Chain A
Amino acid sequence: MTTPSQKPSNLLRVELIIGNLLRWGVIACALVIASGAFLSVVKPPKEGASLSTFLANLTEGKMVEPAGVPSRIAEFFDVSAYANPYRIVSLGLVLLILLPIIRVAMTLIIFLIERDRFYVGITALVLAVLLFGLAFGKAI
């Protein structure tokens, strides 16, 4: 892939750094989700309903355990809960949701390093609304 000759070199550098970070983030996230999925097949949780029952109940909008979805963030720090492989998958999904936010934060840091004040401000605005959405999303 030829490197665009019309782009300033600092922008090219920025793109490579962000691109690599994104790639590793995706791989890490995929590994967590995949291991949880794999474990759920070879070592399904003993308590709660089976996957078949779970899926069968999905029309009415009812969630039958073991869905693996915590009701509070604090529950992610309960290590014993990870015996349920669906909880591992849930962790991977949270990681996935955080990826774009990490992406914006990385972009902010890099604009800071490049001393591009205008874009630091712009990126900060985006990060602010993202964090607001995460924190107060329930109220919406």
Chain B
Amino acid sequence: MSIFHEIIRTPVYFEPILFVISVIAGTVGAILGLGGGVIIIPTLTLLFGVNIRYAIGASIISVIATSSGAAATYVKDHITNIRVAILLEVATSYGAITGAFLTSFVNTQMLFLLFAGILMYSGFSMLAGKRQDLSQSAGEGDPLAQKLGLNSSYPDKSLGREVPYAVYNVRLGFVLMVGAGLLSGLLGIGSGSLKVPAMDRAMRLPIKVSSATSNFMIGVTAAASAGTYFMRGDILPALAAPVALGVFVGSWIGTKLMMSAPSRQIRIAFVVVLFFISIQMGLKGLGFEIR
């Protein structure tokens, strides 16, 4: 254990720094539809030298806190599409449970590389979709979307008006969510980074709706496995408390920012983070653990 870790892991540094970083994680997570684990885990393992199992436990808390904090605002402000969220959540949660069962049968390193590749592809795909935010014709959505009442509208503060949208490729979106759930169950990571591109590209939801709906969903998926981690003792109050409180504050800030930011900026920010996660996952796949 290095001298640096010895010093920084004393209560007077540890708790405040972790709190501040959690505020940042919550802000970023709420804006982009992610859980913040991508910031929390490296912070705990690299900066503080904490064992990975407690970092993962804290990360799960971060995801649930971001989800709960952001969902409160987005649902009240009619940005989240609850029907899409619940419908897709069936796919993700059953996928995640199945994935968790299959962990022992699969080579996770290959999966990390696969995951990194998918994220990279999603990133470029989303960049190509930049033009979508500027053209606002909604169309009718696919017949299944109409039948299930998925088409809707949302108030966009940055545009100062309500934006109607239609949902496409419901079946494809569902299948993609099963995949996202499987990967997240197999690898023990959050799935927001896959949910948002799937909704954005395949189902053609506006980026703000994708982000808000993803935020609604990620907490549900995380809660399914959180019980296990808690009983195993991986969720420690001394770590999880500053994370939870910081993320609550951060996600509140994030929701305010997201609603008034232009969609294009959110999309670009998301792609940047996506590439960052992709590199992180790729390194894990190649054997460089962030222990």
Binding site for B on A (CB under 8 A): 1-7, 11-12, 14-16, 18-20, 22-23, 25-26, 29-30, 33-34, 36-37, 40, 51-52, 54-56, 58-61, 63, 67-69, 71, 86, 89-90, 92-94, 96-101, 103-104, 107, 118-119, 122-123, 125-126, 129-130, 132-134, 137-138, 140
Partner of B97, one of A52, A103, A133: A133
B86 with A122: CB separation less than 8 A? yes
Least CB distance from B225 to A in Å reads 6
Determine if B245 is an interface residue (Cβ-Cβ < 8 Å). Answer: yes
Give A12 to B54 CA distance when docked, in angstroms: 40
- Residues on A with C-beta less than 8 A from B90 are 122, 125-126, 129
Instruction: With A4-B154, A103-B220, A137-B225 as known contacts, state yes or no: A19 contacts B237, CB within 8 Å.
Output: no
B245 with A67: CB separation less than 8 A? no
A59 with B1: CB separation less than 8 A? yes
Q: Could you list some 23 contacts between A and B, CB below 8 A?
A: A14-B82, A15-B80, A23-B72, A26-B69, A30-B248, A37-B245, A55-B10, A56-B9, A61-B54, A63-B233, A67-B238, A89-B240, A90-B237, A93-B240, A94-B230, A97-B64, A101-B223, A104-B86, A122-B90, A123-B86, A126-B86, A130-B223, A133-B97
Least CB distance from B48 to A in Å reads 8
Give A7 to B226 CA distance when docked, in angstroms: 34
A55 with B14: CB separation less than 8 A? yes
Least CB distance from B150 to A in Å reads 11
Give A12 to B77 CA distance when docked, in angstroms: 9
Least CB distance from B240 to A in Å reads 5
Instruction: With A15-B76, A93-B235 as known contacts, state yes or no: A129 contacts B97, CB within 8 Å.
Output: yes
Least CB distance from A105 to B in Å reads 11
Partner of B164, one of A6, A20, A94: A6
Interface residues on B, range: 35 or more
Give A89 to B243 CA distance when docked, in angstroms: 12
Least CB distance from B12 to A in Å reads 9
Least CB distance from A29 to B in Å reads 8
Least CB distance from B176 to A in Å reads 17
- Name the prevailing secondary structure of the B interface residues: helix
Determine if B236 is an interface residue (Cβ-Cβ < 8 Å). Answer: yes
- Residues on A with C-beta less than 8 A from B48 are 58
B227 with A134: CB separation less than 8 A? yes
Residue of B nearest to A132 (CB): B97
Partner of B64, one of A55, A100, A132: A100
Give A20 to B100 CA distance when docked, in angstroms: 33
Binding site for A on B (CB under 8 A): 1, 5-6, 9-11, 14, 48-51, 53-54, 61, 64-65, 67-69, 71-73, 75-78, 80, 82-83, 86-87, 89-90, 93-94, 97, 100-101, 103, 148, 152-155, 157, 161-162, 164, 219-220, 222-228, 230-231, 233, 235-242, 244-245, 248
- Residues on B with C-beta less than 8 A from A118 are 148
B220 with A130: CB separation less than 8 A? yes
B225 with A71: CB separation less than 8 A? no
Instruction: With A130-B220, A138-B228 as known contacts, state yes or no: A22 contacts B72, CB within 8 Å.
Output: yes
Apart from the given pairs A97-B226, A133-B223, 15 other A-B contacts in the complex at a CB distance below 8 Å = A4-B152, A55-B10, A59-B1, A69-B230, A69-B233, A69-B236, A71-B233, A94-B230, A97-B230, A100-B68, A100-B223, A101-B223, A107-B86, A129-B93, A130-B223
